[in-house]
Structure formats: C-alpha cells, structure tokens
Structure 1
C-alpha cells in the first residue's frame, strides 16, 4: 500500500510578550507519524517532545521559520500578527505539493482558508485545534515548540529568568517592569506592540512623575 503523505503547518509562540515565534511545515507518512506518537505539543512532556522531534527531523520533510522579537516588532509596525502569520504560511506552502492542513490563526476559519488559497494557489484546510486532529499538524506543532524552547533557553542564559514569556505569568510581568525600565534595547527580546508592554511603560512613566 502506498504511504499517505500529509502536510501540516503550525506555530509556537504566537501569544508571548517575550521571545520569538516559530512556524513550521511538516510533510510525512501519516502512519509513521501515528507510530511515533505525535500529538498536540502542549499535551506532551518536554522530554517526549524532544524524542519525537528527532524522529520527525530524521524521517520527514521539514521547513521552518524563526521570527525574532526584532522581526516581529518591525513587521507589526506595518501589519497585524494575523497578516504576518499568513505571509509566513504562504512562503512555507512553496514546499508542499498536496493539500496542507493548517492550525487556524484567524477566529474565522473560512476567511483564513480563502485568503491563503487565493494568495498561494494551493489547496489548504484551516481548522482550529488542527494540531489535535491531523498528524502532520501535530508534528509541526512539536517541531515549532521544540525549536522555540531552545531559543527561549538561550534568552534565559543571556537575560536571566523571565518565566514563560507569557503575559499571564507573574514572573514575566515582574521581569518586564525591571527590564523595560533599564534596558537600552528592549525590542531585542520584548514584543513592543503588545498591550501588556504599553501598559507597563505607561505605569513606569507615571511612577517617574511622582518623584
């Protein structure tokens, strides 16, 4: 029986206020992916993700983009995060020949699917929580997550413990207050267009006015 090759795209790090976003495409034999236990990366331990990542990289066709905070800051001065992700997806689609399943970045699946197909000329299926439905998207979520974790480890070594980098993390917020107050080039690791950052900067400015 001929192997069924499936392609999937997913990202890691869309929501954090600190660190990069990684977006990946994986094309691979679905039976192989099921056999190595691919799942939504969020339900796997870091150790298990790393093990599966190695198998994916050895066997599957993988491409990815690591968007640094500086790149995200530059692009968000001109367009939305949804548009940035859409642009990256269009570029990754060049490496796919068959239908590509995508973890949908837009609240309206049909709108994202129509925009991508119109711009790329490729057949795609955009679904929310696609990383829990399609093996290739699960694989892409694992690749993106492992690569982003490695980048975050490097940033922790250089800048200290800023927690997860998500606005919901108290450690991240505590770090941001000190970092935004003292850093010369915060845009190197901080996404300056996030509302969380704007709020903290305003609070820092108001504190200075009191003294």
Structure 2
C-alpha cells in the first residue's frame, strides 16, 4: 500500500493549513485518473475529483488552524510544522511507502524530517512538484485544496469576503486592514506570527500617529 501527501495553505496569512492524504494499492491505480496538481484545474473539476477520490480511496485530512500554527511557530520552523503534519497524515493511513511534496529546498532533508516524526517506519519518496509527478499526490493536493477552500468559504460567510487568505491577494490584505482598523486587533483566524499582520498593524499605527 502507498499514499500521497500534500498540503494547501502553507503560506496563507488567513485561515488554516490543510494536509491531505490519499491511500491506494499502487501508482498504476492513478495513472489514467486525470488527477493533476489542484492549482492547475478548475474549481468545478476539483470538486468533481474530490467526490471521486473520497468515494474510491481512503483519505485523511489534518487541519491546523491559525492559532495552532502560531503556537508551533514559537518552537518550530514552518517546514518543521509541515513535516510533522505530513507525518501525522502518513501515520493515519499506515502505508508501506509515502510520496510527499517536499516543501524544503532540499528534498532529501525534507524526507528525513518527515521520517523522524513517524510512529512506524515508512519508505518516504520526497520530491519537488510531486503533485505533478505522481497522480496519487495530485489526488492528495485536491483533497487538501478543496477542504481548505470550503473552510475559507465558511469564514467568508461569517466575516465577509476575505479572498484566498494569501498575502499576495489584494482582497485578503484589504480585509485585514479594515478588520484591524475597526476592531483594534487581527481576526482570530489570522496568523499573528506572520510579518504580513505586523506590517499591517504598523502601517495603521503610523497613519494614526500622523493624523494625531
């Protein structure tokens, strides 16, 4: 048995990071699936694939909310946090071999980091762009992406449009600015350890000082 592991939301400033895992018997099971890196297919197609994957394969999701990530960042680097979450997803699926999308510049080092956090020995194949190279990792990226997108939608329904949650998204930054101006603090679903948040707070405080 093998599994594929990938995450969505690692670099976002708003919302959770989601690690998706998919288990199968062999890579050949996924060869003609049509699955691809979740970022390269439409939202409609992702939803269709999500239902298909969930129906036909064992899957798992690890969800780390913003507060948990901030707590972990006190002690660990973001790459370490992802490696621990990847290991947790692998432990849940209990395969003999796991294909993971390496988030470290050093693929081998990242694979060893994941191994260190496993409860049981598993062969780790750690590669960059694994979500493009291995369809089982593509499937995992779809599970992670769709799950995270739905969680972001839930937040938006309660708080208004927050965009994708990434610092590169103008809608996200505008929401962050407006929320902090109105409430005097970042929203509970923001990663306060991110420089993006401290920069927004600093700019608001500076403008307030000049207005005074």
Map 1:1-211; keep pairs closer than 5 Å: 5-29=1-25, 30-94=27-91, 95-120=93-118, 121-183=121-183, 186-210=186-210, 211=212
Contact 2:186 2:197 in 1 (8 A): no
Cα distance in 2 for partners of 1:170, 1:185 equals: 19
Aligned residues: 207
SS at the partner of 2:7? strand
> How far apart in 1 are the matches of 2:157 and 2:187?
17
Contact 1:131 1:137 in 2 (8 A): yes
* Comparing 156-165 and 75-84, the one that deviates more: 75-84
Measured in 2, the distance between the counterparts of 1:113 and 1:36 equals: 26
**Alpha carbons 1:36, 1:55 under 8 Å: kept:** no
Q: Matches of 1:184 and 1:34 in 2, distance apart?
A: 51
Task: Answer yes or no: is the 8 Å Cα contact 2:14–2:66 preserved in 1.
Answer: yes
Q: How far apart in 2 are the matches of 1:88 and 1:187?
A: 24
TM-score (norm 2): 0.91
Does the 8 A contact of 1:73 with 1:187 survive in 2?
no
Q: CA deviation at 1:119?
A: 3.8
Q: Distance in 1 between matches of 2:185 and 2:30?
A: 42
TM-score by length of 1: 0.91
Greater shift, 32-41 or 129-138, is seen at: 32-41
Specify whether residues 172 and 52 from structure 1 end up closer, same or farther in structure 2 by C-alpha distance, changes over 3 A only.
same
CA RMSD of aligned residues (A): 1.6
Q: Which structure 1 residue ranges, 5 or more long, are not aligned? A: none
